[in-house]
Amino acid sequence: MTIFRVLVYLMLCVLGRTAHGLLLGADLTRCSPSLVGNQWQETPSLGCKLCRCLQLGKDLFQECETPMRPSAWPIGCERVRVGCNYTIVRTNRPDVHCPGWSYTSYKYLIRVTGFVWDAETGVIGTTGFKQSDFAQQFAPSNVKQQEEIPNTGSPAQLNSIKKQKRRLKTKLNSKKKRKQV
């Protein structure tokens, strides 16, 4: 019986965190309904992301973009972080700079509000948000540079959510099977 209580407690903790976007790393002190339009840059220890709080329809999102960083450079060189920027230098002579061959930056959205949790199916849904709202906000006429926003979180964050959803679904299925027996 105590294991059951621990599982229920853990599920409630996870559900509470997920409903508020904390599982994805949303910063509720900087992005809330009263702070729409707020922009900030994270410290170097947090990755130097440039973030802003925006509202689409009734829902709130935290949009973040990582700084450009070198992703390929010549053999015998290495990438060195200097504050929020990177430089490429010779491995044996840090005073000699090397060229960068390619650079990478990631942009993603974290949903802060508008979650609905269905405990029966273990699915996180949304309220009042339509794909058309998103398309209108980011139409080429509303955006200076047309760019594609790949997803609502980093690949690691999305994989974490998928794993968590799978675990909760298996728990729910095992409970249903026990009830049937």
Q: Read off the pTM.
A: 0.47
Residue 123 shares a structural domain with residue 142: yes
163 and 151 co-located in one domain:
yes
Which residue has better confidence, 151 or 4? Answer: 4
**Whether residue 153 sits in one domain with residue 100:** no
Q: Tell me which residue range forms the domain holding 46.
A: 2-67+107-180
Type of residue found at 13: C
> Is the same domain home to 58 and 139?
yes
113 with 135, same domain: the answer is: yes
For 153-173, what is each residue's pLDDT tens digit?
Answer: 556 666 777 777 788 788 778
Work out how many domains the chain is built from and give that number.
Answer: 2
Residue 42 and residue 27 share a domain: yes
Residue pointed to by tokens 């509303």? 142
Q: Residues 6 or more apart from 65 whose CB is under 8 A from it?
A: 49, 50, 51, 105, 106, 107, 108
Q: Name the residue with tokens 């990177």.
A: 86
For 57-85, the pLDDT digits (tens) are 778 888 999 888 899 999 999 999 888 88
- Label residue 126 by pLDDT band (50, 70, 90): low
**127 and 172 within one domain:** yes
Name which residue leads in pLDDT, 50 or 149: 50
For the chain, helix, strand, coil in percent to 5 are 35, 30, 40
Residue 109 has pLDDT above 60, yes or no: yes
Structure tokens that stand for 170 in this block: 């298996």
- Check whether residue 100 and residue 112 sit in a common domain: no
C-alpha to C-alpha distance for 134 and 60, rounded to whole angstroms? 12
